[in-house]
Amino acid sequence: MTATSVPRGILFHVFDVALNIIIIVAIVALIRTFVVSPFQIEGNSMVDTLEHKEYIVINKFRYFFKEPQRGDIVVFRPPTDHGKYYVKRVIGLPGETVVIRDGSVFIRKPGQEDQKLNEPYLNETNAQKTYRYPVNSGDTTEEAFPVPEGEFFLLGDNRQGSLDSRSFGHLGTHNTAFVPQPDIKGSVWFVALPITKVHAFTTPEYDL
């Protein structure tokens, strides 16, 4: 019995294909880690803006060069459970005080009077119905949240059905309502699926 050698051209072709696969996998991994990444929405805490089972793509690169802005929709790790990802909207910025009063949100900047936040993205069920914890309590008495430096106050658009900064300080062991910037992993860039709902997001403009 005799053995024949594999032509060097075939070996080179196999090596070339394997190398290309490795490079592609590495590039995809780098993109997912540092640039963009897909997520699936679970739950209804952001309706009508985002709905259950929609697929979104987040921009991880954006916050390498700038801080989150008010109105950004972000993916983050909540202080109550760092093993999960949540999607909410940035409302309070470092150094401000977020005031919840009479079903509305107010922003108190240092040395200024409270300014009511205009939130056109809230649907009829949630407009003027931002309550204290528990979020469906109907409690309209005032509660103030002074936002520490380097941290943010986040709310879901479904104000009566969202586990957000109003709740975080009451749950778990961290006893904080705020999310540090390193725990914010990226901003929601666009809805990818279903195809009929594909659209991109822009940061709302607030007259503050």
pLDDT number for residue 50: 97
Catalytic residue status for 88:
yes
- The one catalytic residue among 37, 45, 162, 165: 45
Rg (CA), the chain: 23
Asked whether the beta carbons of 75 and 39 are under 8 A apart, the reply is yes
176-197 pLDDT per residue, tens: 999 999 999 999 999 999 999 9
Closest listed residue to residue 148, CA positions, set 185, 98, 114: 98
Nearest-angstrom CA–CA distance, 176 and 166: 9
Cβ-in-10-Å burial (0-12, 13-18, 19+) of 91 comes to buried
Catalytic residue status for 45:
yes
- The one catalytic residue among 53, 60, 66, 88: 88
What's the CATH number for 8-200?
2.10.109.10
Domain boundaries, the chain: 8-200
83-125 pLDDT per residue, tens: 999 999 999 999 999 999 999 999 999 999 999 999 999 999 9
